[in-house]
Amino acid sequence: MSYIIELKRIEAVIMTKKRRSRGRSKGGKGRGALVQCSMCGALVPRDKAKKETRWVSLVDPTLSRELRARGAYIPGQRVLKYYCVSCAVHRGIVKVRERELRRTAY
């Protein structure tokens, strides 16, 4: 009996933990908000999703270059996108990393 308990304790100690953050930036807090992946539409926790901020111009690039040459200021539009982990890997935002490198956060 005590042998089994001891075995379970050892199992608990060496339980697999791939990442220091467990793939999230949640910490000790409980359940958080969900966001929708911009690619596949999956609902993922916001602290797990990969966030990408892009500045896009609404003006045509050739036109904006011409306008900038004449001294015009063209403000960019901020586009915020959330990706689930598999879509982030697919898009190359995050990469599959080897065991030691996984310990450090992005």
> Applying CB under 5 A, which of residues 10, 40, 63, 79 lies at the interface with Zn ion?
40
Contact between 84 and 42 under an 8 Å Cβ cutoff? The reply is: yes
Contact between 68 and 21 under an 8 Å Cβ cutoff? The reply is: no
Residues 46-105 that bind Zn ion (CB under 5 A): 84, 87
Quick one: 43 or 72, whose CB is closer to Zn ion? 43
Residue 34 engages Zn ion in binding (rule: CB under 5 A): no
> Applying CB under 5 A, which of residues 39, 59, 67, 89 lies at the interface with Zn ion?
39
Contact between 72 and 79 under an 8 Å Cβ cutoff? The reply is: no
- Within 13 Å of residue 48, how many CA atoms lie on the same side as its CB? 18
Question: Using CA atoms, how far apart are residues 63 and 76, in angstroms rounded to an integer?
Answer: 14
Quick one: 35 or 84, whose CB is closer to Zn ion? 84
Catalog residues that contact Zn ion under the rule CB under 5 A: 37, 39-40, 42, 84, 87
